[in-house]
Structures are given as C-alpha cells and as structure tokens.
C-alpha cells in the first residue's frame, strides 16, 4: 500500500473538504471520480510534487471526511465547481491545472467552461468532453439505455442503490474494481458472485476504499448523478468550447467510448491511449504518471 499524506479539513464554499497535498510550485488539483477517493491519486501525487508542483487532492463533497450535505441540489455542478474555485482562493492561486478522472473529469470539463480564467490547463482521464444532449440527460439516457442503466436507476429509485451498496460495501467495490468491466448491471455487483476479470486494487488498497465508504456511505456521491438534469440547465449558457491546453487520456478497454468529435469542442487537445480499462491511474499508474508529467513539462 502506497503511503499517502495526512489530510487537512479546509472550509470552502459552505462546506469542509478533506484535502491531501504535497510539494511546492505551480498548483495541480487532482479530482477523483465515483466511487473513488483522493487516494486514487496516490501514485501521481508524489511524482507531481517531485516534478515541481503543489499537488492538491481533495475528497470532493460527499466523499471521505468531507462534508456531506443532505440536500440533493447541494451536489449540482455549480456547487462542485464552486468548491474547487474556493479551494484556489484558500491557497491564493489565480488558476491551476486541473486533472480529473471519471466524474472528476466531468467536473473539470464544466469548470473550464464556467470559470475559464481559473483553469490554466486541463488533463482528463476516461471521460471525454460530454456533448450537450438535445433533451435533459436522464430522459435521454432512459430512452437510449433503458431503466436498468445505473444513471437512470439512481434517479428513478432514490435510496435503493445507496442502501444496497452500503450493505455490501466490500463485495461491491471488489466486484467493481476489475478489468475488463463486468457485463452485468452495476446495481447487481453488490450481490452478484465475484465477476471475472483482473482485480485492479490490491487488498490493502481496496481496504482503504472500503473503510472510507463504510464511514461515508454512498449517497453523497450518488447525489452527483441525481443532478444531471439540473446540470443540463446550468450549463446551457456556458461557452461550449474548452479553450485551455488539454490532455485527454483514454483506456483502450474502457467501457466509455472515445469521442469522435473531441477536437470540435476541445481544439487544443492532445490525446493518449493506454492499454487498460476504466480505472486508468490505478491500472497503469506509471504510464499515467509519465504521460501527465511529460505533458506538463512540455506545456510549461
């Protein structure tokens, strides 16, 4: 198990974020996905610090020991991006490089659009720029993917998945953190037999996540999904183009497809693909770290 710095609770934007940091120099903010934790960046944090960066890895609201507001709307994209801007303000930074994986990438894409002056560079893993759908997201997803899709299920059946995951936390995470991803519905991973595929996490690393979600529960993170329609409204007037220099890192075996029109929305993008599934920085930690540090060195 890789050592990780001790956290600090930092008040921002009406909540407290549990923040792990290391190094000095130009700021780099690492934004985890679902159901993850700042610990998912344990391989990149020390390497980026050694490369001359002040690396800031928050547990975003709803995760770890960060605040978990009870209102679903407290997890919309305005709040999530507002937390990161307030974090910059706390440290006195005008801007930073933001790195996101999975849901963290969604937040970083939105941050670059809603607060472009505060985002120096963008590095996103797994989730390419999300094109704006012609209708609110959950309706669209249900029409295309059906009611069993977890995006739809989380919204149509509030509380059901939360309770199921919390009653089977270790088994659910052990089933989820595998590559290639299971073909069965995500909801079923909480109770299904152990799925085929290679484990992504060692047992000690998995234990860190199990402990974190046993303490925090899953509702905070799932509430991010319950704001997709609200986010669709909140982003409608933002400039759709991401103007910052951007690095997009794909996993060739990820279940999330690569974008066919990424350069239309992110004209300054460089693209790298790694031989892995969805959990890119976990499955290919050295390659991910090298890709990020090399790209940042070239861009600085």
Catalytic one of 102, 162, 205, 254: 102
Predicted confidence band at 145 (pLDDT cuts at 50, 70, 90)?
A: confident
In the chain, the domains with their CATH numbers are 8-299 (3.40.50.1820)
pLDDT at 54: 98
Distance between CA 255 and CA 151 in Å, rounded? 14
- Determine the Cα–Cα distance for residues 151 and 229; give it in Å rounded to an integer: 11
Catalytic, 278? Answer yes
* Cis bond before residue 35 (omega within 30° of 0): yes
Q: What is the pLDDT of residue 160?
A: 96
CA distance 2 to 223: 30
Whether 135 shows a pLDDT value over 80: the answer reads: no
* Catalytically annotated residue among 32, 37, 54, 278: 278
Residue 124's H or E segment, with its range, is: strand 119-125
Q: Which two tokens stand for residue 276?
A: 């892995």
Q: Are 122 and 247 in contact (CB under 8 A)?
A: yes
Count of Cβ atoms closer than 10 Å to residue 261 Cβ: 10
Length of the chain: 300
Q: Which helix (H) or strand (E) holds 291?
A: helix 285-299
2 pLDDT higher than 80: no
Q: What is the largest CA-CA distance in the chain?
A: 49
Per-residue burial over 120-135, b = 16 or more CB atoms within 10 Å of its CB, e = otherwise: bbbbbbbbbbeeeeee
Mean pLDDT of 208-232: 97
pLDDT at 233 over 90: yes
> Residue 1: pLDDT above 80?
no
Whether the link from the prior residue into 180 is cis, omega within 30° of 0, is: yes
Contact status, residue 90 vs residue 84, Cβ threshold 8 Å:
no
- Among all chains, which residue has been given the structure tokens 């290391």? 22
Per the prediction, the chain carries an average pLDDT of: 96
Exposure letters 190-213 (e unless 16+ CB within 10 A, then b): beeeebeeeebbeeebbebbbebb
Residue 133 has pLDDT above 90, yes or no: no
Backbone angles phi, psi at 115, to 5 degrees: -135, 60
Section 212-236 average pLDDT: 96
* Nearest-angstrom CA–CA distance, 21 and 18: 10
Backbone angles phi, psi at 202, to 5 degrees: -70, 160
pLDDT digits (tens, 9 = 90+) for 10-64: 999 999 999 999 999 999 999 999 999 999 999 999 999 999 999 999 999 999 9
Rounded CA-CA distance 85/46 in Å is 23
Q: Is 102 a catalytic residue?
A: yes
245-251 and 269-274 as β-strands: parallel, antiparallel, unpaired?
A: parallel
pLDDT tens column, 24-34:
999 999 999 99
% the chain with pLDDT above 70: 99
């Amino acid at each position: 198990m890789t050592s990780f710095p001790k956290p600090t609770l930092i008040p921002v934007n009406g909540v407290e974020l549990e923040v792990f940091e290391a190094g000095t120099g130009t700021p780099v903010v690492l934004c985890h996905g679902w159901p993850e934790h700042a610990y998912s960046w344990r391989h990149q944090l020390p390497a980026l610090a050694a490369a001359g960066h002040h690396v800031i890895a928050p547990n975003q609201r709803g995760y770890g020991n960060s605040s978990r507001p009870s209102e679903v709307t407290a997890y919309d994209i305005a709040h999530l991006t507002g937390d990161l801007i307030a974090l910059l303000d706390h440290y006195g930074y005008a801007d930073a490089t933001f790195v996101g994986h999975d849901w963290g990438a969604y937040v970083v894409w939105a941050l670059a659009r809603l607060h472009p002056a505060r985002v120096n560079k963008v590095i996103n893993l797994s989730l390419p720029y999300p094109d704006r759908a012609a209708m609110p997201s959950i309706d669209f997803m249900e029409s295309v993917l059906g009611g069993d899709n977890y995006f739809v299920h989380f919204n149509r059946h509030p509380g059901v998945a939360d309770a199921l995951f919390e009653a089977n936390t270790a088994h659910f995470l052990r089933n989820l953190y595998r590559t290639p991803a299971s073909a069965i519905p995500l909801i079923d991973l909480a109770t299904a037999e152990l799925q085929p595929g290679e484990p992504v996490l060692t047992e000690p690393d998995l234990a860190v996540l199990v402990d974190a979600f046993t303490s925090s529960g899953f509702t905070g993170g799932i509430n991010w999904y319950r704001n997709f329609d609200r986010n669709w409204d909140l982003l409608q007037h933002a400039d759709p183009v991401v103007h910052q220099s951007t690095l997009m890192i794909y996993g060739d075996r990820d279940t999330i497809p690569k974008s066919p029109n990424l350069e239309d929305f992110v004209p300054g993008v460089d693209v790298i693909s790694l031989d892995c599934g969805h959990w890119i920085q976990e499955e290919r930690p050295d390659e991910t770290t090298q890709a990020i540090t090399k790209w940042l060195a070239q861009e600085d």
